[in-house]
Amino acid sequence: MAPRSQTQRTFLMGFVVSIAACGLVGIFCLLVGKMNDLAWRVVGTTAATAAASILGLASAVPWERRRWQPVGPLGIGAVALALGLLLFLIWFDSFLHAWIEIVYIQSLVSAIVLGVALPHVGLMSLARLRRQYEWVRYATVTVIALLALQMLTTILNDFDGDVGIIPEELWYRFMGVLGIAGACGTVAVPILHRVSAIRVQDETHTVDLSATVKLVCPRCGKDQQLALGRSQCGSCGLRIRVEIEEEHCRKCGYVLYKLESAVCPECGTPVAESTLSE
């Protein structure tokens, strides 16, 4: 899908420039034969910027499409905070004293967790699912939220898994379960999005696609019946292609024939007045 706004194009350009810069630094260091401290800092900066650009793009799309607000803006804010903290650590780590280093690392890792979880949830909001599949989306989002909450609790607890009466081993086992469940849901949602679109269009055609159409050949004038799709005139052999395109919802593909509502009954998208039945 091509970027549709200046914000999305900016994030994409930041990703491309960062990857190019990282590659150039790597090539230069290979030719020179060593990686000095400055080179490592530049590589870390470009890699962090590239990751932040992708996560920012993932937050910008649902934000501009007004899906599950304010997940998009919060995601961009978390990504920007994480990038700022990480760049400071890369370039000015010597300014961090021992007494604030732990707090700084906790803040950085917490921002990274939110900077990944919020764009993830935003992307889940973009799927167009049939009602019987919606539970998969909400279950996946719930798992993502629980996993992020557990990770934040672990971070704020000085990375110690012993939280209250829960043993450390059980704590991390549950975190692993949430991670696997979230990964499975993340794979399932886009597949169900595709399946939903296919089923909507397959089940709501109002025209028999095996029917024929009566027409006059524009070359020889022969009146004849031709099947839909590719065909040819029975008299002069002129190749003719007959297509029928019904009016569908631009978002979910629901057929709009004889629709009386001002919005799509499947996804709620506003419908042009020209498609409404009189």
Query: Between the ranges 59-73, 114-128, 261-275, where is the mean pLDDT highest?
Result: 114-128
What is the band of 2 on the pLDDT scale with cuts at 50, 70, 90?
very low
At position 58, the amino acid (one-letter code) is A
- Per-residue model confidence (pLDDT) at position 252: 65
What is the band of 1 on the pLDDT scale with cuts at 50, 70, 90?
very low
Q: Bridge partners of 270?
A: 263
What is the band of 278 on the pLDDT scale with cuts at 50, 70, 90?
very low
Identify the CA nearest to 213 among candidates 205, 202, 203, 224. 224
* Cα separation, 250 vs 85, whole angstroms: 41
Inter-residue contact 120 to 79 (CB < 8 Å):
no
- Per-residue model confidence (pLDDT) at position 164: 61
Identify the CA nearest to 141 among candidates 62, 224, 79. 62
- Per-residue model confidence (pLDDT) at position 206: 63
Segment 148-170 shows an average pLDDT of 76
- Per-residue model confidence (pLDDT) at position 240: 86
- Residue 79: is its pLDDT beyond 70? yes
Identify the CA nearest to 62 among candidates 72, 52, 75, 70. 72
Segment 262-277 shows an average pLDDT of 67
Residues 139-151: pLDDT tens digits? 999 999 999 999 9
* Cα separation, 120 vs 75, whole angstroms: 9
- Per-residue model confidence (pLDDT) at position 5: 62
Run of H or E including 49: helix 37-64
What CA–CA distances, in Å, run from 272 to 62, 263, 267, 277? 23, 9, 15, 11
Query: How big is the chain, counted in residues?
Result: 278
Segment 131-139 shows an average pLDDT of 89
> In sequence order, what are the residues at sequence separation of 6 or more whose Cβ sits closer than 8 angstroms to the Cβ of residue 30?
none
> Of the given ranges (31-45, 72-86, 119-133), which has the lowest mean pLDDT?
31-45
Question: Average pLDDT, whole number, for the chain?
Answer: 81
- Tracing tokens 């700022």 back to the chain, one arrives at 84
> Of the given ranges (48-57, 109-118, 269-278), which has the lowest mean pLDDT?
269-278
- Residue 78: is its pLDDT beyond 60? yes
Residue with more model confidence, 253 or 94: 94
- Per-residue model confidence (pLDDT) at position 253: 66
